[in-house]
């Protein structure tokens, strides 16, 4: 059992990490920005965790929050599409926020172990290469988000702290969400790997009990081929939209551009952490189930929903 600080504790992955930490008996301090959504997720843990609200860019606040922690799990980040829309915010949160957290950790009498959540986007445009991607493959900065993650990884490596870095595959939000133009920016034939956020959380928390990993290791963490999580974007979208009763959208609505996703070699991380449990089909079923009674009205609404989604595609001209 350890005293563990989680940044971004009520985000997509953070909420699952918080739950898994509690399940494994850790003492949890949650740090996140206060919004109606994060307050709603915090309410799932009444009296079970210590909650600190605030901005990771506030160095003094970060020092207070980090005090007395044995392990820091740094999950907080600005991700696409917000990182594309507000690059200054992404750089200040993802880089300066990480720097604040590292300085707070180093200032402690007994420095904590430091976990950094990174991304498989760092491998860049690799569709012309045979998969899978491996931890020692070169990286390519392709946008603001990968720029900040590359810098963040460097800051962690230079910190002198005992650390562990995961480059995660895509972890879909298990929720019903509004369509966004970014969904059309991935070529349908792009390879991509998915993973249930609960499995990603299990990998993170299982690592705490293995101090030998916190020696500057970089692990690739994804859903795995055996669980049907190595797919194409076409398969991703077809299964998801079909399960929700909407049906696949015309190919002409999607970009033909190569995107920075690929399949990962997760043999080492799975052997060490034993976290891969959910299939991609299970992810799809869980998201579709959230429609509940609304599913009865999907056949009636289908033409209007499809038209509304296609309207935001920059490639759909019909």
Cα–Cα distance between 168 and 14 in angstroms, integer?
Answer: 13
Across 60-82, b (16+ Cβ under 10 Å) vs e yields: ebbbebbeebbbbbbbbbbbbee
Alpha-carbon separation of residue 295 from 191, 228, 248 (angstroms)? 30, 26, 17
Cα–Cα distance between 89 and 74 in angstroms, integer?
Answer: 17
Identify the bridge partners of residue 167 per DSSP, sorted by sequence position.
Answer: 118, 220
Give the residue ranges of DSSP H helices in 43-170.
59-66, 82-85, 87-91, 97-106, 144-157
Helix axis angle, 14-23 to 197-208, nearest 10°: 50
Cα–Cα distance between 88 and 112 in angstroms, integer?
Answer: 29
Alpha-carbon separation of residue 97 from 110, 155, 272 (angstroms)? 21, 11, 30
Cα–Cα distance between 221 and 195 in angstroms, integer?
Answer: 9
Residue 267 tokens read as 């043999």
Cα–Cα distance between 196 and 73 in angstroms, integer?
Answer: 18
Residues marked as catalytic: 145
Identify the bridge partners of residue 219 per DSSP, sorted by sequence position.
Answer: 166
Query: Parallel, antiparallel, or unpaired: how do β-strands 27-32 and 3-7 relate?
Result: parallel
Query: Parallel, antiparallel, or unpaired: how do β-strands 50-53 and 27-32 relate?
Result: parallel
- Say whether 145 sits in a helix, a strand or coil: helix
């Amino acid at each position: 059992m350890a005293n563990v600080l989680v940044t971004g504790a009520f985000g997509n992955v953070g909420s699952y990490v918080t739950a898994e930490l509690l399940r494994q008996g850790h003492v949890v301090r949650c740090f996140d920005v206060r919004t109606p959504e994060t307050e709603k997720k915090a309410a799932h843990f009444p009296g079970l965790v210590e909650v600190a609200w605030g901005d990771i860019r506030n160095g003094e606040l970060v020092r207070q929050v980090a005090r007395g922690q044995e392990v820091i799990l740094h999950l907080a980040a600005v991700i696409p599409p917000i990182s594309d829309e507000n690059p200054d915010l992404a750089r200040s949160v993802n880089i300066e926020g990480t720097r604040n957290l590292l300085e707070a950790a180093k200032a402690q009498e007994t420095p904590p172990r430091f976990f950094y959540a990174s991304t498989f986007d760092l491998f860049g445009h690799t569709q012309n290469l045979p998969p899978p991607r491996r931890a020692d493959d070169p990286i390519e900065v392709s946008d603001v988000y990968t720029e900040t993650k590359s810098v963040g990884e460097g800051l962690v490596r230079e910190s002198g702290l005992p650390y562990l870095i995961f480059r995660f595959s895509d972890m879909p939000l298990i929720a019903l969400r509004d369509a966004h133009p970014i969904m059309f920016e991935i070529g349908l034939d792009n390879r991509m790997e998915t993973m249930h956020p609960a499995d990603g959380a299990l990998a993170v928390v299982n690592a705490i009990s293995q101090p030998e990993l916190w020696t500057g290791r970089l692990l690739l963490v994804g859903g795995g081929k055996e669980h049907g999580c190595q797919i194409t974007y076409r398969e991703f979208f077809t299964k998801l939209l079909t399960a929700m009763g909407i049906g696949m959208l015309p190919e002409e609505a999607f970009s033909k551009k190569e995107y920075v996703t690929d399949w990962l070699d997760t043999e080492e991380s799975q052997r060490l952490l034993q976290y891969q449990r959910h299939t991609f089909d299970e992810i799809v079923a869980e998201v579709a189930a959230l429609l509940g009674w609304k599913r009865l009205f999907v056949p009636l609404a289908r033409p209007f929903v499809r038209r509304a989604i296609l309207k935001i595609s920059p490639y759909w001209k019909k």
